[in-house]
Amino acid sequence: MFEHVDHYPGDPILSLLEKFGHDTRPNKVNLSIGLYYDENGKIPVLKSVQAAAKIVQEKAEPHTYLPMEGLAAYREAVQHLLFGRDSAALRDNRVATIQSVGGSGALRVAADFIKTYLPDSAVWISDPSWDNHHALFTAARIQVHTYPYYDAVTNNINFGGMLETLNTLPAKSIVLMQPCCHNPTGLDLNHAQWKEVIGVLQQRNLIPFLDIAYQGFGDGIEEDAWVVRAMADAGLTMVVTNSFSKNFSLYGERCGGLSFVCPSAKEAALVLGQLKAGVRRIYSSPPLFGSKLVATVLHDADLRQQWDREVAAMRDRIKTMREKLRNSLTAHAPSVDGSYLVNQRGMFSYTGFTAAEVDSLREDSAIYLIRSGRLCIPGLNNQNVESVAQAMAETLKKR
């Protein structure tokens, strides 16, 4: 019956993680998967989340179903975090937001909606982008194209190429962009560049799709939402997907959100109805526990402050590791320009290592990057940063 089923080779990043688990070398370093690790190499349980869990546990509420659109307090918290409390779009009831099964679930529900209601629109993603972007839209039978983003020669953004492509897109094309801490390159547009992009989106009647999975890991929680707010204030009709996997360290609880900013309250109500219908058809309603944790933290003034501080500590540790890696790398290989390490932001750094160099770092030095050359900074700590820098310098010297 199932002999014809195609073999699934597995996800390359998850397979690498498995390989890392089996590696018996004591000095092994995992810089592959996009997880935030603390200085001790552990995935943190945030204190604010622990306190919220206690509150939730003590209430001992029944484990009932959530509505299709999710917990109301959670959805409101998502809206405030993304658009700001004084957002005109929120005041006018023009934003339809649902709680989603992680950021990935938001992307998939959005993709199904786009396929149904904008059937002629293709999605344009950055080259490169998070691998699953391609898969998620293709699974919804949407055409996926790329716009230039990374320039390997300058190890910077090919902004001219990006704008040139956006300027050729047909009206109602969907342009997927990451507001902060771009995965996988760590390269973000500056405000002036975003303003230019907003102009092109408006002129050509394109639909921005903002996927924000690392809010707070760049410049700050509010600062990282700047472009979401700038686009909403510019009156753009847009889609926003967000994830709390990283900034709440709640990976397995699957906490995300999907918001559509619409031209009118009437359209927002219609969109919300169809998002609910879409959810009903796939998983009926989202998970309960994580949404209570996030809503409790974000609605309690003290816990919210504590969370701000915990996110700041994660962000600062990332920045410190970037600096230490740059300093050690340039100490070992003075001719190397390591400035990209401190200029890129968020969890990832695009190192420019070839797949063969990544393989040799793994085989010779037990240092695991993914084959695109993407390095996950939070895998670094004070114990391993020096040896990683040394191995990177040796690899570069062999060029």
The contact set with ligand PLP (CB under 6 A) reads: 34, 102-104, 130, 178, 183, 211, 213, 243, 245, 256
Q: How far is the CB of 188 from ligand PLP (least distance, A)?
A: 12
Fill in the DSSP letter of residue 379.
G
Catalytic-residue membership of 59: no
CA 215 to CA 77: how far, in whole Å?
A: 14
Sequence-distant (≥ 6) Cβ neighbours of residue 79 within 8 angstroms:
87, 90, 95, 97, 259
Q: With respect to ligand PLP, which residue has the nearer C-beta, 253 or 357?
A: 253
Hey, what are 114's tokens? Answer: 């786009």
Length of the chain: 399
Q: What one-letter code names the amino acid at 361? A: L
Distance of CA 346 to the CA centre of its chain: 10
What are the angstrom distances between the C-alpha of 148 and each of 66, 151, 156, 158, 290? 41, 8, 11, 6, 36
CB of 82 to ligand PLP, least distance (A): 14
Strands 95-101 and 123-127: unpaired
Q: Which is nearer to ligand PLP, 176 or 393 (CB)?
A: 176
Between the CA of residue 279 and those of 14, 150, 271, 341, what are the distances in Å?
Answer: 27, 35, 12, 40
211 vs 357, which CB is nearer to ligand PLP? 211
CB of 368 to ligand PLP, least distance (A): 17
256 or 338: CB nearest ligand PLP:
256
Report how far apart, in Å, the C-alpha atoms of 105 and of each of 112, 141, 167, 240, 328 are: 11, 16, 30, 12, 40
Active site residue: 112, 211, 292, 307, which one?
211
Could you say which of 130, 188, 224, 292 is catalytic? 130
Q: Which is nearer to ligand PLP, 104 or 365 (CB)?
A: 104
- Tell me whether residue 23 is one of the annotated catalytic residues: no
If you ran DSSP here, which 8-state letter would residue 66 be given? P
Angle at 361 between CA 396 and CA 40, to 5 degrees: 110
Cα–Cα distances (Å) from 211 to 106, 108, 111, 243, in that order, read 9, 12, 12, 8
Q: How far is the CB of 7 from ligand PLP (least distance, A)?
A: 25
Phi-psi region of 342 (alpha: psi -120 to 50; beta: other; left: phi over 0): alpha
Q: How far is the CB of 130 from ligand PLP (least distance, A)?
A: 4
* Nearest-angstrom CA–CA distance, 158 and 170: 21
Neighbouring CB atoms inside 10 A of 264's CB total: 11
Cβ-based nearer residue to ligand PLP, 208 or 256: 256
Among 112, 188, 246, 307, which one carries the catalytic annotation? 246
For ligand PLP, the closer CB: 103 or 216: 103
**Which residue is it, tokens 């109602």?**
172
Give the shortest CB-211-to-ligand PLP separation in angstroms.
5
Tally of CA atoms within 13 A in the half-sphere of 154 that contains its CB: 9
Residue 217 C-beta: closest distance to ligand PLP, Å: 11
246 carries an active-site annotation: yes
**How many helices and strands, by DSSP H and E, does the chain display?**
15, 13
Q: To the nearest whole angstrom, how small is the minimum distance from the Cβ of residue 313 to ligand PLP?
A: 21
With respect to ligand PLP, which residue has the nearer C-beta, 34 or 84? 34
The C-alpha atoms of residue 288 and residue 265 are separated, in whole angstroms, by 27
Catalytically active residues are 130, 211, 246
